[in-house]
Amino acid sequence: MPDSVPLRRILHCDMDCFYAAVHMRDDPSLEGRPVVVGGDPSGRGVVAAANYEARRFGIHSALPAAQARRLCPDTVFLKPDFRRYREESQAIFAVYRDYTPVIQTLSLDEAFLDVSEHLGEHGSATAIAVDIRLRVREERRLTVSVGVGPNKLVAKIASDFDKPDGLTVVRPSGVEAFLAPLPVRRLHGIGPATEKTLLAMGLKTVADLRRTSVDTLLARFGNWGRTMQERAWGIDDRSVHTRHVRKSLSTERTFAENLKKIEEIDEILDAMASEVARGLEKRRLAASTITIKVRYPDFQTPTRSHTLPVPTADAVTIAALARELVRRTDASRRSVRLLGVGASNLVPGELDQPTLFDED
Q: Could you tell me what percentage of the chain is helix, strand and coil, using 3-state DSSP and rounding each to the nearest 5?
A: 40, 25, 35
Residues in Cβ contact with 33 at an 8 Å cutoff, skipping those fewer than 6 apart:
53, 74, 75, 76
Catalytic: 195? no
Strands of the sheet with 35-38, listed across from one edge:
47-50, 35-38, 76-78
- Three-class SS string for the chain? CCCCCCCCCEEEEEECCHHHHHHHHHCHHHCCCCEEEECCCCCCCEEEEECHHHHCCCCCCCCEHHHHHHHCCCCEEECCCHHHHHHHHHHHHHHHHCCCCCEEEEECCEEEEECCCCCHHHCCHHHHHHHHHHHHHHHHCCCEEEEEECCHHHHHHHHCCCCCCCEEECCHHHHHHHHCCCEHHHCCCCCHHHHHHHHHCCCCEHHHHHHCCHHHHHHHHCHHHHHHHHHHCCCCCCCCCCCCCCCEEEEEEEEEEEECCHHHHHHHHHHHHHHHHHHHHHHCEEEEEEEEEEECCCCCCCEEEEEEEEEECCHHHHHHHHHHHHCCCCCCCCCEEEEEEEEEEEEECCCCCCCCCCCC
Residues 62/47, Cβ–Cβ less than 8 Å? yes
Which of 31, 87, 88, 110 is the catalytic position? 110
Give residue 191's identity as a one-letter amino acid code: G
Cα 143 to Cα 98, 109, 152, 166: the distances in Å are: 18, 11, 21, 9
DSSP state of 93: H
Residue numbers annotated as active site: 110
